Structure 1
Amino acid sequence: MDLDLRKLRYFAAVADTLHFGRAAEELHIAQPVLSRQIRALEHDLGTPLLIRDSHGVALTDAGRQLLSDAGPLLASAHAVRRRVTVAARGSRRLMVGFRAGIAVTPAVRRFATRHPDVLVDVQRIEGDEQAALLLDGRIDVGYVRLPIVETGLRVTPLYTEPRVAVLPSGHRFAGKEQITEADLAGESLLWPTSIQPTRRPHPDAGYRVRGVDETLEHVAAGRGISFLARSATVFYSHPDVSFVPIPELAPDQVCLAVAASRHSPLVDDFFAAAQATADITAECGNYEMWQSGNDAVPQH
């Protein structure tokens, strides 16, 4: 029996809230209707998905597995609806997402030589949304940075970028030519996730930064140090922040990503254009390349 996407959406709402009443309110349906739909889904799959008792609602092992798989399935269905709507309007448009510090223009220009009639729009994205935007069809192709949850995606490595330490301008190592991980041992780290990029763990500064701008502001305020891809030194500056190379740190990996269910000649051609211009894109984030034609000193 085919999986009913409406029942799956109802299940996901209950599984996310672990509360039938709140899930029914979010879905704008009556709670008894929701309960019947969940029981019907359990019957369709031949296994209990939820445990209901006096303590509340909990997921069974099967329920946890289904919740893990439900996100990409529902996002893919939403993306199909979005693409059909766009196609019905007769428009030829490609939405390209990109992380901060990644220059999309070289690929867009190359793509335009083959598809001058296609409008390529661009949207900056952050690390905590890059997978979701691809899966639900809000962007067609993404220049992403690892880590990314790859479930439901096709992810292709493009190039790597060295990382730099991001330090307050008054830090003892600000302005150094380069430093090592050991130099920063014990420093509180501002990082978007609990998985740090260093071999030696740092104390958590207690802030979950989201994006380059937040990182720079927190560092400037003296709340900790951080690390960014080298391209930040080209595209960003802050009077109270210093960027210092840290060569031994693992590089930042830039990839191209698209929903695995997305099959389109336009997407394939943009992929090819992005891969053909990867070296140019990578060099756009290299300050030394710009400095060779400009004697200006980087602003820190």
Structure 2
Amino acid sequence: MDVDLRKLRYFVAVADHLHFGRAAAALHIAQPVLSRQIRALEHELKTQLFDRTKRATALTRAGEQLLTDARPLLAGADALQRRVQRAALAADRFTVGFMPGLIVTPATRVLAARHRDLTVDVLRTSWDDQTEVVHDGRVDVSYVRLPIDQNGLQIRPLLTEPRVAAVPLDHLLAAKDGISISDLAHEHLLQNPDAVPEWRDIAVELRTGRGEPPPPIRTVEEKLEHVAAGRGLVVLPLSTATYYTRPDITWVPIDDIGPNHVCLAWDNTRTDPLIHEFTEIATAQAQRPYTPA
């Protein structure tokens, strides 16, 4: 049986909303049409995907499994479309992703100067999507901060930088010249613990109850708003902390953890000569201080 991606998209919409009416509205189709498509998918798969009553809609075990498998399948289909479109534009466009605090202007300027007919674009990324934008074709290369899942990627190390704790000015740690990671063990970390595994391991070991991921706070700006309000702390690379300087927050060096590693990442199936050329430019530029024009 060939899987119908359109029916899968309809299924995921219902699974996300657990309500046929709301899912139909989100898809901009009539509810009876959506119901027929889901019934057709169940018939094709020879299994029931939803338990439906007058009061509620819930996934069956088969539905839960399909949802797990459908999301990456649909993401892969979207990525395929982007890569095909990118290939059509490859002769005149090159896109570079970058994490907050990193300045990519020197390298992109050199590439653009060498290829006058090339449009060099940039795309700001975050901890959550810094590799996703490579896999789905939104960027050709991306400046990433480790740790990341390196599956399917080619990685070129560029530089390292110290990590610091961003704290509100009235925090007990704010006046210190340096701290250890254990000083943060009982603090609430306003970021994914996997981004700071040293803190995560100590927090879990001490059973502080802080080892669970916090509610999603996606941007640096949002995290710093929460820091200033006294709701927790964040650990940042030094360049990010200094880039987002604000009067109600200070940063303190963390003396006993390793630096943040900045690398360039790209899809390991790509053979575009521009990627190789840009990695060489970026590697050379990473050793030089940035001087605005």
Aligned residue type for 2:279: A
Instruction: Determine the structure 1 residue equivalent to 2:22.
Output: 22
Deviation at 1:186, TM superposition (A): 2.5
Instruction: Determine the structure 2 residue equivalent to 1:216.
Output: 224
In structure 2, do the counterparts of structure 1 residues 173 and 233 end up closer, same or farther at CA, with 3 Å as the change threshold? Answer: same
Instruction: Determine the structure 1 residue equivalent to 2:243.
Output: 235
Instruction: Determine the structure 1 residue equivalent to 2:153.
Output: 154
Distance 2:89 2:264 in 1: 27
Distance 1:255 1:217 in 2: 28
RMSD: 3.8
Deviation at 1:33, TM superposition (A): 2.1
Distance 2:248 2:140 in 1: 37
Instruction: Determine the structure 1 residue equivalent to 2:74.
Output: 74
The within-5 A match list for 1:42-57 is 42-53=42-53, 56-57=56-57
Question: Which shifted more, 214-223 or 140-149?
Answer: 140-149
The within-5 A match list for 1:116-265 is 116-130=116-130, 133-134=133-134, 136-146=136-146, 154=153, 156=155, 158=157, 160-189=160-189, 191-193=190-192, 197=196, 198=199, 199-201=201-203, 208-249=216-257, 251-258=259-266, 264-265=270-271
Aligned residue type for 2:234: S
> What secondary structure, in the 3-state scheme, does the structure 1 residue paired with 2:202 have?
coil
In structure 2, do the counterparts of structure 1 residues 258 and 252 end up closer, same or farther at CA, with 3 Å as the change threshold? Answer: same
Query: Which deviations, in whole Å up to 9, do the C-alpha atoms of 1:150-199 show, x marking residues without a partner?
Result: 78x6363635543211122333433533211233343333x133657203
Deviation at 1:9, TM superposition (A): 0.9
Q: Name the TM-score, length of structure 1 as normaliser.
A: 0.73
Distance 1:194 1:233 in 2: 18
In structure 2, do the counterparts of structure 1 residues 134 and 90 end up closer, same or farther at CA, with 3 Å as the change threshold? Answer: closer
Aligned residue type for 2:75: A
Q: Is 1:269 equivalent to 2:274 in the alignment? A: yes
Aligned residue type for 2:257: L
Distance 2:255 2:57 in 1: 50
Instruction: Point out where structure 2 has 5 or more consecutive residues left out of the alignment.
Output: none
Query: Which deviations, in whole Å up to 9, do the C-alpha atoms of 1:29-67 show, x marking residues without a partner?
Result: 222322222232233334433333466332234433332
Kindly tell me the number of residue pairs found equivalent between the two proteins: 281
Deviation at 1:73, TM superposition (A): 2.9
Instruction: Point out where structure 1 has 5 or more consecutive residues left out of the alignment.
Output: 294-300
Percent identity of the aligned residues? 48
Distance 1:46 1:256 in 2: 46
Contact 2:187 / 2:233 at 8 angstroms: preserved in 1?
A: yes
In structure 2, do the counterparts of structure 1 residues 90 and 275 end up closer, same or farther at CA, with 3 Å as the change threshold? Answer: closer
Contact 1:157 / 1:256 at 8 angstroms: preserved in 2?
A: yes
In structure 2, do the counterparts of structure 1 residues 13 and 129 end up closer, same or farther at CA, with 3 Å as the change threshold? Answer: same
Contact 1:75 / 1:135 at 8 angstroms: preserved in 2?
A: no
